[in-house]
Structure 1
């Protein structure tokens, strides 16, 4: 795949009124509206009814919206393609550590989110019989910040800061065709076509963009997870702490999200992910059956969880082996977040690393885009190399931690509960990977 574009082709295209578009393009598009939004990213229709875009972001998840917002704050417009009819309301909660909050500060949404979610003060580790093994307070690690954040709220907050019409809903990617000297041609399921100078794949674990670039399918690691969100309209009684509970081949945890909501998870071993179950009541009952004799606090949170908010997912990852795995970028196409480096949730770094990716890539692209295709390709390669050095060790470490915590041998579990956790675990080294600094992305006028 080779492509070249003159520097002048990266200047922004003239905006035509929608009334001048061919009728096939004047179809109804669902959009995000907000009084804080500014000008729409430039769009122009060519003679063959193919839209032309400077930058197309595929996927309106955390990585996609954070990347688009980072670019927007640096004065670079983009269009985000989302296959759904609206922002994804599914999922439960995710835990963001210090590095995630640094990025959210950088792109100007952290304070709005902080006002809605509790700051977690520490963590408690217990055995499945309720015995406390170890506890920590996060004050032991200077500068640490931990909050559980509802995924839906995070997505809505990021989207609300984008210009109107940035997100194109019901836009499912069908194929990518590399065109010499013209960038990439994106074909959509509804027949639409977009010619893009830069394509940023933020389309999740099963990313079509990553598959097109030659990445292998993510590998199932031998564990599945149930997740849910307990609801307490009158307020819950739990302290703002992460609670971990360890059993044999089975572990669980819960953490308050807000004064009325508590996130929980159960991770269990399985030779295969098993059949897909669509009945949420069945999923909830399966989860309860796994821990029916465990501490009552966990069972209480689960019982207070609406059936339709319980999900089950197989845990997967992809190790980015040097020399064996494709680069994150190739000729104007680049991948970000789970599309590039799906990792297990054992370190709570999936979303945090996606946020890191977004701000690093945006800064490099914004500095290079006026220099033409060669400059952009160099910036993408720089992003790939810089981020690989951080992502590969984290992916491996997360997988190793998960394997250790999922032990099912009784002697090994006794060693974990009586020696490893009480005497060997130290909070500072365990959270060292959350050290990440980035400058504030001060808003600039669109180019």
Structure 2
């Protein structure tokens, strides 16, 4: 009996693990190579929209993650003084897109994904490099400190600074600075009781959201030069930038320790890659289409990539070269459009011009008063996406539209 084909996934983040689980379920023998010493992610929270939850349905995890939804009631956009620009309810979102928005810690999702893989699938402290992308006549080869691995498929899920991408497309300019940096914390906040919200100021934004486990996920962003760092600590920098904004922002900052605050410059791929595959190698997530976080779709699109890749690269479907071409054809137009929209939204919510801010805020408030459906319409074509195979567990609980 012929052995199942082998896949090597370079990178053990959310996209890489989702790809590993999806490929394993399609009959591939999978090895995940993660250069870090553990799968504990460097990061904080992640927002999963109905599109990625339906993708997770394909590998049996959608409802497990939906059960972690903590956002109930209203939320929306505010000004630094506390005035609500728009209100959006969880019910309206679920009705329009067929499911909830789930905010959770990245570590929770990583743990759930890793639990779906056979023991020994994931190798940590495993620095990997693409030695040969392979072709129709030879397997791809990946070099590791323990020797080379051959595979019928290699998945480059190694993030925004992807070495696999650089090997495939050495002439591509790579990621560029998006013009702002972010801070993130996931912490307990005693006595916290507030609606999920994002607040837009002048060249700065803040978001605060409760998690199901009782902690609070908060993020901030500001237009600052790349490579900067606070002269004291990043918590003190948050006090300087956001300490006089509306409640509960000062209290959240006050509950954080300096070591709780993560700071990262934001980069994105401004020039789309010519393809998301070459030879026997496919790129997913930030390695293929890194985007600003302003739509909350970076991780969601990585999950979509993984499911679509496994669908087209199934060992008993079309030849791999045709499957990878179909993967690029399915994913490149969608992710390019979403990435461009994320850049446009960043220009809007990180605006510095005072006259522009006045017009922006007035427009947001007017749209919100006209009805929540108008505001949610900006996610049409994004959050309503469905994977290329059924069933979708979310269909059984979809809120019906009158």
TM-score above 0.5? yes
The alignment's TM-score, normalised by the length of structure 1, stands at 0.80
Q: Aligned partners of 2:241, 2:359: CA distance in 1, in Å? A: 23
Q: Aligned partners of 2:366, 2:316: CA distance in 1, in Å? A: 55
Q: Aligned partners of 2:319, 2:256: CA distance in 1, in Å? A: 51
| Unmatched runs of 5 consecutive residues or more in structure 2 | 369-373, 393-402
**Shift in alpha-carbon separation, 1:379–1:121, aligned structure 2, 3 A:** farther
Q: Which of 326, 339, 347 is the matching residue for 2:274?
A: 326
Kept in 1: contact 2:21–2:59 (CA 8 A): yes
SS for the counterpart of 1:384 is: helix
Q: Aligned partners of 1:346, 1:184: CA distance in 2, in Å? A: 36
The alignment's TM-score, normalised by the length of structure 2, stands at 0.88
Kept in 1: contact 2:211–2:217 (CA 8 A): yes
Q: Aligned partners of 2:72, 2:31: CA distance in 1, in Å? A: 35
SS for the counterpart of 1:88 is: coil
Q: Which of 78, 87, 111 is the matching residue for 1:126?
A: 78
Radius of gyration: which is bigger? 1
1:236 CA displacement: 2.8
1:130 CA displacement: 1.4
**Which shifted more, 71-80 or 112-121?**
112-121
Q: State yes or no: 1:397 paired with 2:374.
A: no
Q: Which of 202, 208, 227 is the matching residue for 1:274?
A: 227
| Corresponding residue for residue 346 of structure 1 | 294
Kept in 1: contact 2:23–2:30 (CA 8 A): yes
**Shift in alpha-carbon separation, 1:120–1:93, aligned structure 2, 3 A:** farther
Give deviations 1:210-239, integer Å, cap 9, x for gaps: 11111432111111111111313x663224
Q: State yes or no: 1:255 paired with 2:209.
A: yes
Kept in 2: contact 1:183–1:197 (CA 8 A): yes
Give deviations 1:300-358, integer Å, cap 9, x for gaps: 1222224323111111111354xxx3211111011011110001111111111111111
| Corresponding residue for residue 238 of structure 2 | 287
Q: Aligned partners of 2:41, 2:179: CA distance in 1, in Å? A: 27
Root-mean-square deviation (Å): 2.2
| Corresponding residue for residue 228 of structure 1 | 185
| Corresponding residue for residue 395 of structure 2 | none
**Shift in alpha-carbon separation, 1:192–1:133, aligned structure 2, 3 A:** same
1:440 CA displacement: 4.3
Q: Which of 143, 156, 165 is the matching residue for 1:210?
A: 165
Q: Aligned partners of 1:178, 1:127: CA distance in 2, in Å? A: 50
**Which shifted more, 394-403 or 88-97?**
88-97
1:61 CA displacement: 0.3
Q: Aligned partners of 1:375, 1:295: CA distance in 2, in Å? A: 57
**Shift in alpha-carbon separation, 1:106–1:199, aligned structure 2, 3 A:** same
Give deviations 1:79-138, integer Å, cap 9, x for gaps: 111111210332110111111111122211233333344144442211111122221213
**Shift in alpha-carbon separation, 1:179–1:118, aligned structure 2, 3 A:** closer
1:178 CA displacement: 4.2
Q: Aligned partners of 1:395, 1:269: CA distance in 2, in Å? A: 19
Q: Aligned partners of 2:134, 2:22: CA distance in 1, in Å? A: 27
Give deviations 1:247-272, integer Å, cap 9, x for gaps: 111111111112521111111002x3
Kept in 2: contact 1:230–1:306 (CA 8 A): no
Q: Aligned partners of 1:213, 1:227: CA distance in 2, in Å? A: 32
Q: Aligned partners of 1:112, 1:136: CA distance in 2, in Å? A: 24
Q: State yes or no: 1:409 paired with 2:349.
A: no
SS for the counterpart of 2:303 is: helix
| Corresponding residue for residue 310 of structure 1 | 261
Q: Which of 106, 110, 113 is the matching residue for 2:58?
A: 106
Kept in 2: contact 1:98–1:144 (CA 8 A): yes
SS for the counterpart of 1:434 is: coil
Kept in 2: contact 1:251–1:267 (CA 8 A): yes
Q: Aligned partners of 1:95, 1:70: CA distance in 2, in Å? A: 21
